[in-house]
Amino acid sequence: MKHIFLNLKRFDIPKEFGGVNAIAPMATWGSYIVEQTQKELKKYDKNQVEFAMFFPEAHLIPAVSALCEYSPIQVGCQGVYRDDTAVGGNFGAFTTNRTANAVKAIGCTAAIIGHCEERRDKAGILAEAGVTDADAVNRLLNQEILAAVKAGLSVLYCIGETSEEQDRWQEVLKQQLDIGLAGVDKSRVTIAYEPVWAIGPGKVPPDEEYITKIGTFVKEATGNMDVVYGGGLKTDNARMLASVPVMDGGLIALTRFSGEIGYYPEEYLEIIRTYMGR
């Protein structure tokens, strides 16, 4: 099974506010993305490839509402809270926090957890509290994964090493996997490898040899779980990534990296056509 994930981050913000949205008004942004892609995605065998799109919270309802009958798209959220409602228990006292049951009730079927931007945020909060335990973030993410899976969501769990951690990447990734997946039904989880050290302007992305090394390591460490390249699947690297046997897909974010930077549905479809070979 191949997996093509789309992380739409905060690409809904209009350009006049410093964002990159040039495709649709805020009110119709989520529905526009689904409507502009789901018809073509139907041509791919759902037993061979899955498509999940992770939307900012304001767009979950319109994105779900735009799904056609037998849509190949899974609408996902960008993270969930580590606790949730329960019959006979907490019935909703989670002000400011988005729980897995809440997004499940909306109609979401997936969640992205542990993205490097989420890890950085959590690490910063813990640092303000004086917490120096490097595994504290992994334990919090484990609680989020458990909550998501309990609610019936599938999970894309992101792992990756920073430039400061690169010389001990095996140790870092192993801890992220062991702690993050503790007690988790792994059949509901796909791993995304983010080379955090290579993400950003002017950075050099990992080559095929490095990606193969990481994919092999993750499969060996997890008992052959599916793993995708989370450093940015794009037209330029789609054929190369498709040729790496130990990689089972990729995570798309931006589709255009120069000029009118941003996400564009037709370019997203072109990345998929290139990756899938048609």
Task: Give the tokens for residue 177.
Answer: 């996997």
Task: Give the tokens for residue 129.
Answer: 């509290």
**CA distances for 104 relative to 55, 107, 123, 133, angstroms:** 14, 5, 27, 32
> Is 208 assigned a catalytic role?
no
Q: Given 50, 144, 161, 194, which residue is catalytic? A: 194
Q: How far apart are CA 58 and CA 52, in angstroms?
A: 17
**CA distances for 200 relative to 221, 231, 259, angstroms:** 28, 10, 16
CB count in 10 Å sphere of residue 69: 4
CB count in 10 Å sphere of residue 171: 11
Estimate the crossing angle of helix 208-222 against helix 169-180, to 10 degrees: 40
Instruction: Tokens 């191949």: give the residue.
Output: 2
**Cα atoms in the Cβ-side hemisphere of radius 13 Å centred on 238:** 20
> Is 194 assigned a catalytic role?
yes
- Strand, helix or coil at 223? coil
- Letter string b/e over residues 32-52, b meaning 16 or more CB atoms within 10 A of that residue's CB: bbbbbbbeebeebeeeebbbb
Q: Given 3, 50, 115, 118, which residue is catalytic? A: 115
Query: What residue type is 22 in one-letter code?
Result: A
Q: How far apart are CA 158 and CA 131, in angstroms?
A: 22
- Strand, helix or coil at 277? coil
The set of catalytic residues is: 115, 194
